[in-house]
Amino acid sequence: MFVERSIEQLRDRLGPIAKSLNIEDTIAPIYHQLQPIDPSIKHRLSNINFPEINNKNVDEVAIFTDLYPIYYRTIYSGLLAHVLYNHGIGSIFVYDHKQFKTCQKKDSNVDCVECVNKSEALTDLMGLNRYYMKGLDLDDTDIPSVVNSKMDRFAQSAASRKLKIAEVNQSNQKHQELVGDFIQSAEVLWKTLSNLDKKFNFKYIFSYSSPRVPRRIAIEYGSHHNKVVIGTTDPGFGIDNGHLFNYGEGPLPTYISESVWNKLLNRGISKEELNEVEDLLLERSTNIRQQQYTDKNTDVKEKIELDTNKHIYSMFTHLVWDAAADQIVSRVYDSHREWVIETIKQFENNDKQLIVKTHPAEAFRDGNDSMIGILDEEFEKTPSNIQILSPDTIINSYNLIRESDVIIVNTSTVGLESAILGKPVITVGDAHYAKKGFTFDPSNKQQYIRRINNIGDNKKIGGGKIKKAKIYGYNYFIERPKYLTDLLQPWWNVDNPDEILEFEKYEEVVEHDELNKIAQSIKNDGSYFYFDETRPQ
């Protein structure tokens, strides 16, 4: 550790000098080869003595599309790989090596060396099998025309997220070049999977979203080649930073299949579980990060002068470049921007009130576009029946929901929470909870406009719909999240990289109850991803 810390201190001192002398590209690779990862992480992982995963000893193989090393994600995936190995499933971790033009570090040999050496160090320390795209023959694979036809849409969505803008500009050369780069990265990943398929005939693909490749590609490959696609998330779900898993349903791991939903409905919900849902919403109203600027005690009526003689519609927007506003989940409008602007225009000349609640993350996440900025440019002034709330408004979302007659969302979780609270909810995007029988889900603009203009059809949702919303809410917020915080802490909870590690021995990993249930479910039908098997029926 002393030598490693000395190397780190030397790098800190010599780095600015090397940069000023324009020799950084020469010096930095030497440093990254000597010390590719944080010394504290290296020390902790080396003491655990992970055995090597030998794919020759198993009949099934899983591909982890890790693509580039991040401490939490790679270690989290590596722990799962070891538990899978104990269940008879081998694994290969796939990494980019200057194949993706979308890599934000593609023009820097320094960063490429850092990335490669970091992935080598982490996989070596954890006994994982790695495969670099550099060593693959990517030219002899044809991509199905039905997938090729979707590439541009997938690439545009990925480009808008990378640029952190609402939508790419068709006339902007740099934007279109980036779209082309994402199409190229999608083709590379597809051909990589095809190449590895020929070599290993793998059965499983782990899809962890990456900013370097359109998120749907692994799912599309699995669909076309009869692979089991396992979707997984970063921590952050449920009560204590849980992960979600699914069997590839929908564009994100939050989605469930119709058959799973029908099983949940048939199972029903107990009084105790109903109380758990209500208690959780009460906790979320103050504790989640999105409410950090709000005051739960603020009187909504006083703050924004609501006219209780008029029907109140509240529309909750997203970060304009977030996955939740993605074209892939759009149903009614082509873009998030179009939906918000057209909805406001619908309210300009009617007798209803519209409150537009812009997403609070616009105040604490950097972006090159924001909904509040788009609306400031689009509307010099709005009529008195339309009010636009800033991202850092003091008004608590849950108080606003309670004062509203109708809630309008694209795919926001607010829609689910509003339905649980008994409010009519109109969705315009394919939210993971949409079309489950407790929201209004128009399929085109005409239906949407008719719905928002016809309050008679919206004002109440029956008890049956509220119960469905609570069944879904209990499953999504309480039952589905899988907690691994006794093994790994989310990176935002720690000050130093090694503090994400909560385990000291290999046995703590392979004997971990939750990881073993996840691994067993992967081998079977994925039911544990959705159901608590210990719950009384």
Whole-angstrom CA distances from 17 to 13, 31, 35, 110, 400 are: 8, 14, 19, 15, 55
Question: Is the Cβ–Cβ distance between 123 and 151 less than 8 Å?
Answer: no
Q: Give the global pTM.
A: 0.89
The pLDDT value given to residue 490: 93
Residue 132 in this model has a pLDDT that exceeds 70: yes
Per residue in 215-259, pLDDT (tens digit) is 788 889 999 999 999 999 999 898 889 999 998 887 788 999 999
What are residue 131's DSSP bridge partners? 94
For the segment 404-417, the average pLDDT, to the nearest whole number, is 94
Cα–Cα distance for residue pair 17/484, rounded to 1 Å: 43
pLDDT band at 3 (very low <50, low <70, confident <90, very high): very low
For the segment 189-213, the average pLDDT, to the nearest whole number, is 86
For the segment 432-450, the average pLDDT, to the nearest whole number, is 96
For the segment 309-333, the average pLDDT, to the nearest whole number, is 84
Residue 417 in this model has a pLDDT that exceeds 60: yes
- Say which residues have a Cβ less than 8 Å from residue 243's Cβ, sequence separation at least 6: 76, 232, 233, 234, 235, 237, 481, 482, 483, 484
Q: Which residue has the tokens 């008994």?
A: 422
DSSP 225-283: TT-EEEEE--S-BTTTTBB-EESS-SSSTT---HHHHHHHHHH---HHHHHHHHHHHHH
Residue 512 in this model has a pLDDT that exceeds 70: yes
Per residue in 149-194, pLDDT (tens digit) is 888 888 888 888 888 888 888 888 988 988 888 888 888 889 899 9
Question: Is the Cβ–Cβ distance between 285 and 296 less than 8 Å?
Answer: yes
The pLDDT value given to residue 336: 87
Nearest 5°: phi and psi at 90?
A: -85, -175
Per residue in 462-491, pLDDT (tens digit) is 889 999 999 999 999 999 999 999 999 999
- Say which residues have a Cβ less than 8 Å from residue 21's Cβ, sequence separation at least 6: none
Per residue in 329-385, pLDDT (tens digit) is 889 998 888 999 999 999 998 889 999 999 888 877 777 888 888 888 888 888 889
Identity of the residue numbered 347: F
Given CA atoms 412, 414, 420, 424 in this order, what sign does their dihedral have? negative
The pLDDT value given to residue 138: 65
The pLDDT value given to residue 511: 97
Per residue in 40-69, pLDDT (tens digit) is 899 999 999 999 999 999 999 999 987 888
For the segment 278-302, the average pLDDT, to the nearest whole number, is 71
The pLDDT value given to residue 104: 55
Per residue in 88-116, pLDDT (tens digit) is 999 999 988 777 777 755 545 545 667 77
Share of the chain above pLDDT 90, in %: 46
Q: What is the pLDDT of the chain when averaged over all its residues?
A: 85
What are residue 316's DSSP bridge partners? 357, 409
pLDDT band at 7 (very low <50, low <70, confident <90, very high): very low
